[in-house]
Chain A
């Protein structure tokens, strides 16, 4: 049976207590995108500033939410700041892979094998999720998956907007 320790890992709590890249960026040059989780009222605002060479030169996170959504947003910002847009998209894909569960596996004993989590497969391509791996315990608490993916979906949207702006 999964316990709270699986969910609230120390790295996660650290990002929740001291969120990285919190704040706002000037728009333009940055784009601003909002995401909502209607279930719990979480709200995330992602600012990204993409330069001419498709590098994310800055990112800022606003909004409010639970520890999982806030920590995930903070870790995401730290991971993708300074990467290219293509790398960021690979991160998004890899993270969402980590957060996906195979249907029918719910209600089992909650072990990783049981839940169909394959950490290697999640590390698609050259992307190493690093600290973000700490969030994989979230999959054992299915209602919290949307909390963890909120900022990533919002980032994906922000990158689309940044691309269409240029």
Chain B
């Protein structure tokens, strides 16, 4: 079994032309496209099931609640979580990080503590810690990145001294690097710290088992895994969720409210104040079913094959006119390919590359990819980034390789 050759047909958005060219979508690291099955599931929910959840005693409301909780069960199974109630729905990965910082962080971090992150983090796993550190006075430490795009763990023991939390990405959204999470878990736990894992790029592309990772928190976001926008996931061990104070306050998250105060309801609803994103949860559930149907092993195998093809095609055709950042072996990385292109002494600016590619119907991202500290380390102000997913194939990479030539024509010196 592998990814079906006609998979593009499942994705309505890919059926269009832009600038009279077939749309070629190479920006899935940014957000993924949605299969018809996800769109249908959300429509169907609104057409047949919509009611507010956890509140109504009538049949429709019971079914809406079942739809929400059924999606939670699918998410739990997808990452092999020990318990369904360890799955907290958030707006996106960013909100999940803010939840950890504001709830766990504010209750546990003080001036003599440290939080360890890495230089390859997305701003979502940087800024909440900067914000909290300004209030609580803990130290923010950085695991460095080596020139070939790996975490430099040579000084990890020193970095971990006195740390209470290590928070790192499982896969870099710029370099594609896959980090050794079990090793980081062992080191963090050995030093008495917890481990939070940013799975935003990893969970959509690699079979995920939180128990094998041995993490304490896992964060990911629905829109990068064929699901809708507006839903993200925080998984955490029951003991931590139980102990953590609530994040947002309001309806849904309480057991009782009086003029004097309130008590919180049980997990995970304690962290889900207000009417939740039910249709989005249903959409995420349908996305997980779609991915399960493809088989996550096949998804990962397809990504390795395509990444390998892209590395060979682009490096083979352009030689020193292209530099693709990150690990050079496809099996050590994901399918996000950040590159600079042009004559070695005069690279074409990524914004100009993205513009030229757009004229050829090709969508790539240009810029700092919400990882400015990493780009500073890499000493580049910006990169172009092509990223692949299940619906991409070799013809998309060929189109990219061909269209890059056009930017040489315009910017040749």
Interface residues on A, range: 20 to 34
A40, B370: Cα distance in complex, Å: 10
A144 near B355 (CB under 8 angstroms)?
A: yes
Choose the segment among B101-109, B266-274, B346-354, B388-396 that binds chain A (4+ C-beta atoms closer than 8 Å).
B346-354
Which residue on A lies nearest to B383, using beta carbons?
A41
A40 near B382 (CB under 8 angstroms)?
A: yes
A17, B351: Cα distance in complex, Å: 16
List chain B residues, Cβ under 8 A from A39.
367
B359 near A3 (CB under 8 angstroms)?
A: yes
List chain B residues, Cβ under 8 A from A70.
349
A16, B412: Cα distance in complex, Å: 11
List chain A residues, Cβ under 8 A from B350.
40, 66
List chain B residues, Cβ under 8 A from A144.
351, 355
**Beyond A41-B368, A41-B382, A43-B381, is A66–B19 a contact (Cβ under 8 Å)?**
no
A66 near B352 (CB under 8 angstroms)?
A: yes
A40, B351: Cα distance in complex, Å: 7
A67 near B367 (CB under 8 angstroms)?
A: no
- Report if A64 contacts B (CB, 8 A): yes
B382 near A8 (CB under 8 angstroms)?
A: no
List chain A residues, Cβ under 8 A from B382.
40-42
Which residue on B lies nearest to A64, using beta carbons?
B381
A4 near B367 (CB under 8 angstroms)?
A: no
A42, B352: Cα distance in complex, Å: 12
**Beyond A41-B367, A41-B368, A67-B349, is A7–B381 a contact (Cβ under 8 Å)?**
no
B19 near A1 (CB under 8 angstroms)?
A: yes
- Report if B185 contacts A (CB, 8 A): no
A65, B305: Cα distance in complex, Å: 34
- Report if B375 contacts A (CB, 8 A): yes
Q: A40-B351, A42-B382, A43-B381 are in contact. List 5 more A-B contacts (CB 8 A).
A: A16-B411, A17-B413, A66-B349, A68-B352, A144-B351
Pairs across A and B, CB under 8 Å, 11 listed: A7-B355, A13-B411, A16-B411, A40-B350, A41-B375, A41-B381, A41-B382, A64-B381, A66-B351, A67-B349, A144-B355
The 3 A-B pairs with the shortest beta carbon distances in the complex, nearest first, are: A66-B351, A66-B349, A41-B382
